[in-house]
Structure 1
Amino acid sequence: MPLNTDASPLPLDAQGILELAARSMFQLFSSMSQGMFLVDLSGRIVWVNEGYRRFLPDLGVGSVNDFVGRMVEEVIPNTQMRRVLETGQPVLVDLLTNKAGTFVVSRIPLRGEGGQVIGAIGIVLFDHPETTLQPLIGKFARLQRDLDEARRELAAQRSRLPAGQGARRAKHTFASFVGASPAAVEVKRQARRAAQSQSPVLLLGETGTGKELLAHAIHAASARAAGPFVSVNIAAVPDTLLEAEFFGVAPGAYTGASAKGREGKFKLADGGTLFLDEIGDMPPSLQAKLLRALQEGEIEPLGSNQLVPFDVRVVAATSRDLAALVREGRFREDLFYRLHVLPIRVPPLRERRSDIPALVEALGEDLALRSAAAPPELLPDALALLAGQAWRGNIRELRNVLEQAAMRSDTLAIGAQQLHDVLRESGVEPAAPAPALEHAEPDEAARLLRPLAVQVAELEQRAIAAALALHGGNKLATARHLGISRATLYERMENPDK
């Protein structure tokens, strides 16, 4: 009988198919990803592909031989590979920020025949998320803004309900903090971590940077999200009324006081979050009472001898230099340390210039929503002009400029000259448009023009701060994480320029 040459080959057995699929997927990830490496069960790097090698100089590693064989924490700051090895749980999509940049990464455990973890694989999916994922980030941000608007409408409806039937809720989430620059990603990472704690949070930064928005987002992401979010702008309340505003008033406490009394903000925020905006403006006479309330967890309403317990998580914010106020004797040192548990510096707009296009889109859509008109469209020369400004008022000033330009323009398209006129009439001498550097965002360009020693010192301090936050301030664990001695860590913390 002649041989049937058209016959299909025998099917592979299940194990053969599995091994073939594993090899194919491994080769696919290795060729399509921006970089990939493997670690064994102890966390030691055993292999790195060609794509990942281009990140080694930025990580301070001279060659592949200096990379392979090292513990992963020694050469990749802020890595979470150890957690994957210990838990066996994959981290499919995450943001990693270290001195090599900001990356979208995956971390997948590798298992042996018996199902036990034998190592892990790290994959760099994108190495420039601020540009690569901008369409996705923009779409998500638009959806989040729609959701925020719906929440505001619902909150407005609740506020019109009879007393006791309404509720104070956070109006923003982390998606409302628009931006994918390294500075924006880092501040959101720190804020998300702070949201999981019950300790006080102190938001530091210039006016108009989005501190209140982050306070809302921290509450919304915390275990207290179902509780009330109550805010007090200390700078907007007269000093004589602040005590009553904070602690409430007992029935008939003074002439003209309500016979029913009045609850203060601490009691209104019971079970939730109390946001103290512009804490640096608090008068000294009230600082001692605030400190006692935070320490004891109880308040004494004005005109009452009864102590009232409360359960509140405090988020404070200020645009002032609190440390300087402490040195000048204008802010209590003990209150400063009570609040300065989880400090988060919110970067000014000039440190995240690459976020300006996304911010312009978000602000334009918000303006259009409020005016029932189409959003303005900024021409490239207009965006370049915006990216070159100092923005002393930060995002609040940017919004004002956009709103003025949109109101004055007869068309949706807005050019640089129109913005130039608006800036001048606002009392600002426009700076030159941001230069376009190849492969660099405007804020990256500004950083690249600084001395190398300054850039290296800044990256080192960011790595130390991130490691300290990760290990809860434990210096020994931080030093081990960074692969340096504890003495070196102390030296770098005390003398960051060395």
Structure 2
Amino acid sequence: MLHSFSTVSLDVVEKILENAFEWIVVVDKDGLITYMNKNYCDFVEVRQEEVVGRHVTEVIENTRMHIVAQTGKEELADLQYIRGNYMIANRIPIILKDECVGAFGTVIFRDASQWMQMSSHVKSLMSKIQSYIQDINNGAKYTLDDILTESSMVQELKDKVKLVAASDISILIRGESGTGKELFAHSIHQISNRSHQPFIKLNCAAIPEHLLESELFGYEEGAFTGAKKGGKKGKFQLADGGTLFLDEIGDMPMNMQVKLLRALQDGEIEPVGATKAVSVNVRILAATNRPLERMMEEKRFREDLYYRINVIPFYIPPLRNRYEDISLLAGHFVQKVSNKIGKRILGMEDKVLEKFLHYSWPGNIRELENAVEAAVHLTEKEKITMDSLPEYLRDPAVFSLGSKKLKEILEETEKGVLQRSLEKFPNDKLAAAHSLGISKSTLYEKLNKYGLS
């Protein structure tokens, strides 16, 4: 084969072939090897100079190169089992003057897992330019690009997402409240093989116990008083073919844990009031900030369900363990809030950043975002100053650690922001609402909530 090239030297051609592909083999019309590059020879443990002239079936197991050379029909992205691994190979006939004179084959990926990892990587890159055209029915809003970090720990997690996203394996995302567990769940779905199918979320802590079964599995018409005509699909059916994200799974009641486990094991669910099961194909992602291991010891979380959902564990570190991200995230939130409300804020004073770096952030990224949002609203300068920070950050002694819950601190901060807005616009509620980036009706709701006039 190679000796037929006249305008390019054999050395140049072989150099190109050695570097253009990881593995390549060329056969003539009888299936005899005319060329096989060194990488391929090393893998099948033969010497390069010994393979020329041998029939390809003697050198490569399960090959179809000789068949392609005979039929002239190409075979693309075909799985081939070689030496204990599935390879993904192309086999292309060589046609000269309308006659098939041989074939060349290349191995694109050396095993199926390498292909899946590459698929996830490509989807991750594509999400940078296609996120805005995601199908609205998909449900997943965030990608890996939305997870901002300079932390090696978090970057390793992002790399881990690319490795496991393509499989259908169950993943349990652990971490304190506000660390970004949901962003990781969205990102896993976005670069999975289910990315064009639904992403359905259920917060297990937000649904009353007596409604949780119908939320998960749906119900038939007439199943109970108040049931909708025609029944209702549950989260499992809505997520069929896609991903079901069970947030706060540690708060799921024990009786529902049993039914969830059965659904995961059987791939079937039984809607409330139904007489037969319904098959579903769903990938499960779960998240919790609860101590599941201790809950298992206390018989508050099923051990068999734990091992079912915790095939691949993810632990997202708290913000206090990734201080290198505080400046990055704070700057991002300043820009985000400023753009939303149309206010010109150029950044933070050094003292503010120093305060942020020395604070423990018990509410993690969510607390940081809320603190920055409050500061952007309160500042009257082009940079966030200490005076514009929420009171608990300016004077930590007022809010000693453990004396107040995060919800209380954030509510007191919001109330303070509202009071200062009313002082700034004493007779103009609309102007106060606009300054806060909210509607007038929302402003009145918040004023009523805190008893402000």
TM superposition score normalised by structure 2: 0.59
Q: CA deviation at 1:188?
A: 1.0
Residues 300 and 307 in structure 1, CA contact (< 8 A), matched pair in contact too: yes
Q: Which residue of 2 aligns with 1:201?
A: 171
Q: CA deviation at 1:343?
A: 0.5
Q: Which residue of 1 aligns with 2:275?
A: 305
Q: Which residue of 1 aligns with 2:79?
A: none
Query: Aligned pair in 2 of structure 1 residues 381, 232: CA closer, same or farther (>3 Å)?
Result: same
Q: Which residue of 1 aligns with 2:294?
A: 324
The match for 2:192 among 200, 222, 228 is 222
Q: Which residue of 1 aligns with 2:357?
A: 387
- Specify the code of the residue in structure 2 equivalent to 1:323: E
In terms of Rg, which structure is larger?
Answer: 2
Q: CA deviation at 1:429?
A: 5.0
1:11-38 CA deviation, whole Å, 9 max, x = no partner?
xx9999xx9xxxxxxxxxxxxxxxxxxx
The CA distance in 2 between the partners of 1:192 and 1:225, in whole Å, is 13
Name the SS for the 2:294 alignment partner: helix
1:246-293 CA deviation, whole Å, 9 max, x = no partner?
000111111221121000000000111000000000000100000000
Residues 154 and 317 in structure 2, CA contact (< 8 A), matched pair in contact too: yes
- Specify the code of the residue in structure 1 equivalent to 2:302: R
Name the SS for the 1:232 alignment partner: strand
Residues 379 and 385 in structure 2, CA contact (< 8 A), matched pair in contact too: no
Query: Aligned pair in 2 of structure 1 residues 42, 207: CA closer, same or farther (>3 Å)?
Result: farther
Name the SS for the 1:344 alignment partner: strand
Q: Which aligned runs of 4 or more in structure 1 are off by greater than 2 angstroms?
A: 13-16, 372-376, 415-422, 424-430
Q: CA deviation at 1:362?
A: 1.9
- Specify the code of the residue in structure 1 equivalent to 2:221: P
The CA distance in 2 between the partners of 1:259 and 1:191, in whole Å, is 41
Residues 338 and 376 in structure 2, CA contact (< 8 A), matched pair in contact too: no
The CA distance in 2 between the partners of 1:290 and 1:270, in whole Å, is 15
Q: CA deviation at 1:194?
A: 2.3
Query: Aligned pair in 2 of structure 1 residues 258, 425: CA closer, same or farther (>3 Å)?
Result: farther
* RMSD value, Cα: 3.5
Q: CA deviation at 1:169?
A: 2.6
Matches of residues 62-461 of structure 1 in structure 2 within 5 Å? Answer: 150=132, 167-416=137-386, 418-419=388-389, 421-424=391-394, 428=399
Q: Which residue of 2 aligns with 1:92?
A: none
Residues 376 and 388 in structure 2, CA contact (< 8 A), matched pair in contact too: no
- Specify the code of the residue in structure 2 equivalent to 1:398: L
- Specify the code of the residue in structure 2 equivalent to 1:331: F
Query: Aligned pair in 2 of structure 1 residues 375, 174: CA closer, same or farther (>3 Å)?
Result: farther
The unaligned stretches of length 5 or more in structure 2 are 1-8, 16-40, 44-86, 88-123, 402-453
Q: Which residue of 1 aligns with 2:65?
A: none
Residues 138 and 196 in structure 2, CA contact (< 8 A), matched pair in contact too: no
Query: Aligned pair in 2 of structure 1 residues 341, 14: CA closer, same or farther (>3 Å)?
Result: closer
Q: CA deviation at 1:423?
A: 1.6
1:154-194 CA deviation, whole Å, 9 max, x = no partner?
87xx5xxxxxxxx1331010110000211111111222222
Residues 183 and 351 in structure 1, CA contact (< 8 A), matched pair in contact too: no
Residues 209 and 395 in structure 1, CA contact (< 8 A), matched pair in contact too: yes
Q: CA deviation at 1:363?
A: 1.5
The CA distance in 2 between the partners of 1:233 and 1:247, in whole Å, is 14
- Specify the code of the residue in structure 1 equivalent to 2:251: D
1:94-153 CA deviation, whole Å, 9 max, x = no partner?
xxxxxxxxxxxxxxxxxxxxxxxxxxxxxxxxxxxxxxxxxxxxxx99x95x976x46xx
The CA distance in 1 between the partners of 2:301 and 2:226, in whole Å, is 33
- Specify the code of the residue in structure 1 equivalent to 2:176: E
Residues 248 and 289 in structure 2, CA contact (< 8 A), matched pair in contact too: yes
Residues 191 and 344 in structure 1, CA contact (< 8 A), matched pair in contact too: no
Residues 243 and 302 in structure 1, CA contact (< 8 A), matched pair in contact too: yes
The CA distance in 2 between the partners of 1:248 and 1:331, in whole Å, is 23
Residues 146 and 183 in structure 2, CA contact (< 8 A), matched pair in contact too: yes
The alignment-based identity, stated in percent, is 41
Residues 379 and 413 in structure 1, CA contact (< 8 A), matched pair in contact too: yes
TM superposition score normalised by structure 1: 0.54
The CA distance in 2 between the partners of 1:345 and 1:381, in whole Å, is 32
Q: CA deviation at 1:421?
A: 3.6
Q: CA deviation at 1:376?
A: 4.9
Q: How many residues align?
A: 293
The unaligned stretches of length 5 or more in structure 1 are 1-12, 20-40, 44-86, 88-139, 159-166, 431-498
- Specify the code of the residue in structure 2 equivalent to 1:274: L
- Specify the code of the residue in structure 1 equivalent to 2:159: R
Query: Aligned pair in 2 of structure 1 residues 14, 260: CA closer, same or farther (>3 Å)?
Result: closer
